[in-house]
A = this chain, B = another copy of it.
Amino acid sequence: MRIAELSERSGVPIPTIKYYLREGLLPRGEATGRNQARYGDEHLSRLRLVRALTTVGGLSVATVREVLAEVGEPDVGLHSKLGLVMRRLPLVGDDIEPLEEDRERALALVTRRGWHFYPDHPALHALAVVLAGHREVGHSVGDADLDRYAEAAEGIAAVDLDRISGLPATEEVLEGAVVKTVLGDTLLTVLRRLAQVDESAARNLEGAGRRAARGD
């Protein structure tokens, strides 16, 4: 198909497609003339993927390029490859510098949960940054709440890994893991918001016997 059709079918404007081509996010099409190229279904899939990761997942174009480059590189096993890909995903801004106490709390949590961890993993640093952010505005998260959140995260990670365990480290499997992690963060945020509405309504209407009516 021509670039116009590619644009129409993907919903991505032509200038954006040209930008992705220049940035190497989308492979060049097959040249059919001096200024023309033909694109295939693989271009359409890739465009949709880039759009979903940026629009729904909130990733920058630069990050998408890095992550997809990592996905495309051959490697040994699924788990080591997954680790490399996931380390590329951005987690939190670096404007806030955690204190030693924030770092210690982050380390204490993963230790308390018995989590296998890497001391240099960006997520461990990010945890210290987020704890610092809470502390700085006077709304620190207590250990009990942190443990309950961590427990929920364990349940989520089990779902995440259940889907792909035992599969080979192909580009398709890794791409699926990236999509379900990045878009999944947004999905979980949305589900949390909806569950908060329900939880808030339940507590607000408790006096009116709502829970009793639901049989809770």
Contact = CB atoms under 8 A, between A and B. Distances in A.
Nearest to A116: B201
B183 A134 contact: yes
Contacts of A4: none
A198 B114 CA distance: 9
Contacts of A199: 154, 157-158, 160-161
Contacts of A183: 130, 133-134, 139
B190 A130 contact: yes
Nearest to A51: B95
A143 interface: no
Interface of A: 11, 45, 48-49, 51-52, 54-58, 77-80, 82-83, 86, 89, 91-93, 95-96, 110, 113-118, 121, 123-124, 126-127, 129-131, 133-134, 136-139, 141, 145, 148-161, 163, 165, 175-176, 179-181, 183-204, 210, 214
Contacts of A176: 139
Total copies of the chain: 2
Residue from A52, A79, A151 having most chain B Cβ neighbours under 10 A: A52
A126 B201 contact: no
A152 B55 contact: no
A131 to B, nearest CB: 8
A153 to B, nearest CB: 4
Nearest to A80: B204
A83 B158 CA distance: 31
Contacts of A153: 152, 188, 191-192, 194-195
A189 B91 contact: yes
B45 A193 contact: no
